[in-house]
A and B are shown apart, each in its own frame.
Chain A
Amino acid sequence: MKVDVQKVAHLKGHDGAVYTINNGKSNNHFLSA
């Protein structure tokens, strides 16, 4: 199997390390902390 990788966005907003990424309340959202 061959896969392609595309970088869609590089998001910044946290002052420290990002330890967790999770689902948000809807399909088009996610949470970070």
Chain B
Amino acid sequence: MVVEWSLDELKPEHVLARTPGVIYCTCLIDEFNLLLVGNDQGGIHVIDLEKRAEVRYLLGHTKGVFSLLWNAEQQHIISCGGDGNVICWDVQNFHSIKSMALCEAKIRAVDYSKVHASIALACGDNSIRIFDSNTLELKHEWQAHAMSVNTVCFHPNGRWLLSGSRDAHLNIWDLENDYKLHKQIPAHNYAIYSIAFHPDGKLFATASRDKTIKIWDSENLEFLIRIDNEFNQGHVNSVNSLYWTNYNNYLISGSDDRSIIVWKIEN
């Protein structure tokens, strides 16, 4: 199910969707009042939040949908599948505009840079692929890690792309220097699943299968603090997802331990 939580009251407010199977990703499209829900069967539920009803079910992937992106500039939805395909959907009629078979492995994550008009894809064949967000043409691809790439995130400085992998490394790529490796950091003990930037861009966080969250300085990429169960009463299993809200600058984490933790990080 998809739950909407109140940060004022720190409790659940609504269940927005109940779907069979496991949900891997969601995406809110504010201007159409729609919620997209990607499941483990390769389907995307389209929920009308005003009617509180499913209005479409998009079946384009043959394996789980791991990540969804709304490109407001192009009015496109991008979906990433465990089948190695990326599909671009028209939000008006929900038809597939373009389907791209990229590899045999999973496509785990997508991020968008308006400044660079680029979409970055984290691929299970250890590569990162960069597409032009306007034309959907492949601009660049390279072997980025020793194992599957799980997450990608454009740095707010517009210069770097960050990637996290099953190889437990955090890699920083220089967009102004032909995507050359700027820095490689052995950031965690196991796979990195999520990267999130503080709203002011000065800090970022990484989440890992090693059950920890780490906070980093965005400017010099130095490690600042580790959040774990022993010292912070953190998660007891893999940390899968992070979201850094501008409400009190709370960092929110979701885990295999079935719980969500709200953190306040102050500098």
Residue of A nearest to B11 (CB): A11
> In whole angstroms, what is the CA distance A10 to B49 when docked?
27
Q: How many residues of B contact A (CB 8 A)?
A: 61
Across the interface, do B241 and A1 meet the contact criterion of CB distance under 8 Å?
Answer: no
Q: Size class of A's contact patch?
A: 20 to 34
Residue of A nearest to B198 (CB): A3
Across the interface, do A9 and B26 meet the contact criterion of CB distance under 8 Å?
Answer: no
> In whole angstroms, what is the CA distance A11 to B75 when docked?
34
User: A11-B259, A11-B261, A27-B246 given as contacts; is B267 within 8 A of A1 (CB)?
Assistant: yes
- Residue pairs across A and B with Cβ atoms less than 8 A apart, 10 shown, are A1-B267, A2-B267, A13-B12, A18-B241, A19-B25, A20-B240, A20-B254, A25-B4, A31-B35, A33-B2
Q: Which of A21, A22, A30 has most B Cβ within 10 Å?
A: A21
Q: Which residues of A contact B10 (CB under 8 A)?
A: 8-9, 11
Other than the given A3-B225, A17-B255, A17-B256, 18 more pairs (CB < 8 A) read: A3-B203, A3-B215, A5-B264, A6-B264, A6-B266, A8-B250, A8-B264, A10-B261, A11-B259, A18-B240, A18-B259, A19-B24, A20-B240, A20-B254, A28-B247, A30-B252, A31-B3, A31-B28
> In whole angstroms, what is the CA distance A8 to B49 when docked?
29
Across the interface, do A31 and B16 meet the contact criterion of CB distance under 8 Å?
Answer: yes
Q: How many A-B residue pairs lie within 8 Å, measured between CB atoms? A: 158
Across the interface, do A6 and B263 meet the contact criterion of CB distance under 8 Å?
Answer: yes
Across the interface, do A3 and B267 meet the contact criterion of CB distance under 8 Å?
Answer: yes
Q: Which residues of B contact A24 (CB under 8 A)?
A: 4-5, 28
> In whole angstroms, what is the CA distance A3 to B227 when docked?
11
Residue of A nearest to B33 (CB): A25
Across the interface, do B260 and A19 meet the contact criterion of CB distance under 8 Å?
Answer: no
Closest Cβ of chain B: how far from A15's Cβ, in Å?
7
> In whole angstroms, what is the CA distance A23 to B2 when docked?
12
Closest Cβ of chain A: how far from B193's Cβ, in Å?
9
Across the interface, do A14 and B258 meet the contact criterion of CB distance under 8 Å?
Answer: yes
Residue of B nearest to A15 (CB): B258
Of the candidates A18, A22, A28, the one whose C-beta lies within 8 Å of that of B27 is A22
Q: Which of B13, B16, B26, B255 has most A Cβ within 10 Å?
A: B26
Of the candidates B215, B241, B245, B259, the one whose C-beta lies within 8 Å of that of A20 is B241
Across the interface, do B258 and A21 meet the contact criterion of CB distance under 8 Å?
Answer: no
Q: Which of B27, B28, B254 has most A Cβ within 10 Å?
A: B254
